[in-house]
Structures are given as structure tokens and as C-alpha cells.
A and B are shown apart, each in its own frame.
Chain A
Amino acid sequence: MTTMSGPNEGTGSRDGAGAPLLAIRDLHATVAGREILKGIDIVVPAGEVHVVMGPNGAGKSTLSYVLAGRDGYEPTQGEVVYQGQDLLAMKTEERARAGIFLAFQSPVEIPGVTGVNFLKTAVNAQRRARGESELDAMQFLKLARRKAKELDVGEEMLRRSVNSGFSGGEKKRYEALQMTLLEPRLMILDETDSGLDFDALKTVAQAVNGMRSPDRSILMITHHQRLLDLIAPDCIHVLIDGRIVSTGDRSLAHELEKSGYAQFAGQAA
């Protein structure tokens, strides 16, 4: 079932249906002077859900940071084309305004910045960039309350400082809340499922599924089959030691669950 050939041939079903939303080609990147990504190829057509799986330390979070534009995660070779634009030339905030959203594996605590202030500033920054009118305090609160309710995020969490003192599960739901408020085009979910109990996982999966549309794509980093049962992926990529060693359809995930990453060990070298 596994195709060992070039990127995304396993999803060839939408042949030529417009340009891909995201095309990563031969991407290399270093962190603290060490090469962590050693040639990544992933093409995500609009509307598809792609999954990146791989052992700890393979470079999955590094890939997500490079896509989001974090300082210190330096691309050294290859290219990333997003909506026809050179993504790597854009600043972090420009990428976000162009519709890229990274749900962090470890969301950052920011004491002193209240949720409402943070979320409103972000939503309005993005609205301004799209030439839309900004939401006033009342309009924003109404929207935030509605979305928070859908995600079981308590209203008092909006008043608290961003992520400060939140439990692991609360942080993940808070990431999902930001995602539904910002309505991105490309969602990068870095282990959004870890640390969630099954009910919370279902809530988050529902939010993600609720946002799926023909012009939105998802790049989902996960270890867990159970999330794949809730959000049906179009394509699975296996990332080992900075390289995509295999790309295939859902059956690849089942295979991984049965026999682990060891079967790919040879290709990683």
C-alpha cells in the first residue's frame, strides 16, 4: 500500500485541480547550527488534510516553526510556495495574515496579556490586513463568547492572561479557539491531540471538521490513530530524521501503528 516514490503521488486523485495551497520542496533547515530538516517534500492541495507522523526528535515541530517563520529555525535550502507566494520571504505576522495558523505543541504562557486583549488584537490585525473593518469591543466579545462556548472554553478563561496557569487540555482548546476565530486557510496542528482526554479530543476534532472546506487545508502532526479516526486525512507523510521517507494514504497510518517506525530506519540514514 505504501508508495515510496515522489511526494504526494498517493493522493493523485485531484489531478491538476488548481495549484496546491502549499508546496514544500527540498526544504532544509538548521536549528542552533545543526541541520534538522534534510530535504522535505510535501505538497498539500487546497481542501486536503495531510498528516505528518514520525518519532520524537524527527523534526516535526521544527517543520511547523519553519513554516510559521520562527527566528532561529533557519531554512538553508529548498523552497516553500504558499498560494503562489514565496512563503520563506514573508515575516511571521504576514504569513499569519495570509492565512497560516500554527496550533502550538506547547502554547506559550503570557502573563499580563489578557485573552480578550490578545484575541481582539489578533483578529483585528488580520481583518485590517484583509481590508475589512475592525470589530469593536462589543462585536468582538459577542463573537468570542459564541466560539468559546462551542469549544467548551470557559468565559473566565478569556479574561485570564493568555495560557497562564492553564492545564494542558485547556491550552489545546484555547489554540483551537484562536483557530476558529482567525479562520485560517492552512492550519498546522502540532500534536494538538496530545494531552487531551477523549471528550476534549472530540470537541477539538469537531471544530476542525467544522472548518473543513474546499479551499482550506490542514497539515496535522500527530502520533495518534484516534485523531485520524475523527479527522479523516487524505494523505500521510512519514518524517524520520529530517526526511520524508514515505508518503501514502490512510492505510500507511495503520501500518505504522502495527509495525512502528523501525521499518523505515534504513531510509533515514
Chain B
Amino acid sequence: MAVETKTAPVLRCQHLGIQFGGLKAVDDFNLEIGESELVGLIGPNGAGKTTTLRTITGLEKAASGSIVFDGHDLTKITPSKIITLKLAYVPEGRHIFPQMTVAENLEMGTYADKAGMAGTMEDVYARFPRLSERRRQLAGTLSGGEQQMLAVGRALMAKPKMILMDEPSMGLSPLLVQEIFDIIQEVNRAGITVLLVEQNAKMALSISNRAYVLETGTISIEGSAAELMDDPRVKKAYLGQ
């Protein structure tokens, strides 16, 4: 897959630094993602992947550096306004609304912009037939896999330009992992830019155009997915070869 087909960046982080009580969690983080790219971000536990995504979406504050999405500096925007720029986040651990029904959860996805809600909801149900069968079920009673689908579905309800996904395969059976990855690819083919954080490096690299490796808060390796799959360091540490 050619790397150089990248267009103007949709998301660009420059010299991003994030701290918790003086401890650096992420340091001098640089990343650039072009329109309609599917980019992977892999790395060991505690590397700072979730922290980075939470900072991009305003749930944590950056200590230094800039995050520009679609021409807007996200570090200067009220967190609840970020979704109105059409940047959605499927957080680690799903974070659905457990005491709302499946339908209500999806509806919450349109909180910031209700236009065309009914149509988008039917699209989401078409993509996730399991959710369609469970419209009136409380989200807290869904299985883990169904909750993950609901989290993705809720993000899609906002008709995002870009989606950040944090370990969508966590805790799912191999079959469901495949299903979720298929959906991520479909979403990307529909023109939505994707930044995919994964523990499952093999799967992530198999569907990504490019990828970054984050280790103890800094990007250590970056390149096309093919390059990374051939990189001996990646092979050894993340692909078990």
C-alpha cells in the first residue's frame, strides 16, 4: 500500500505533552493523519495510547503542544463542542449509557446535531442487525460484544468525519473481533478517517494504511503498515515472531 497518497492532514498532533501530577504520560508526541486514512496506533500496556486519545477529545488536558483537527485547535475548545467538529471517539471500555435502551443510546449520539437522525439510525441498524433486534433492551444488559457495537454505532450516529477507536477488540471472541474489524474497514471505505488503537497489533496492521508505535509516551517507530510488519523490532515485540 502506497504511503504517499496522503492528502492534507485531518488530524495533526505536534509536540504533544500530557502529564498526571507532574509525571509525564506522553512526551513530544507527533502524529499526522490524512483524509480517509486508516491509521493504527499500537504499543504496550501503559504506553499512553488511551491518554493520547482522551486528550485529543478533550477528556484530559494537554500540558504542551498542539492538536489541530480540520483546522481547529482542539486544546482551545470546550470538550463537549469537539463532537460538533465531527470528531467522534469510541472510548476504551465502551462507555455506553447502561440505563438507557439501545435506541436511546444511539439517539444520544445525535445530541449535538439531530439532523437526519432517523435515517442515520436505520443505517446503523442495517450495519448492526444485532442492535436492531434489541432496540428496546437496556444497554447495560447487552453482551460485551453488543456493547462494543453500540459504542461504535453511537459514534456513527454523529456522522463523523473521523473516528478514534480505542481497543475495539478488547474482550471479544475471535469471531467478533473479525466482525468488528470488518466494520472498521467498511466505515473507513465509506470515507471516514480512522485512528485505531489496538493491542492486537497483527489485526490492526492488517487493515491499516499506516501505523505508529507508542512506547512509554513517545512514538518510537512509524511507517506504512507493510513496513511495520517487516520491521524486526515490531515483529519481535508485537507480532510474536
Do the two chains belong together in a single complex?
Answer: no
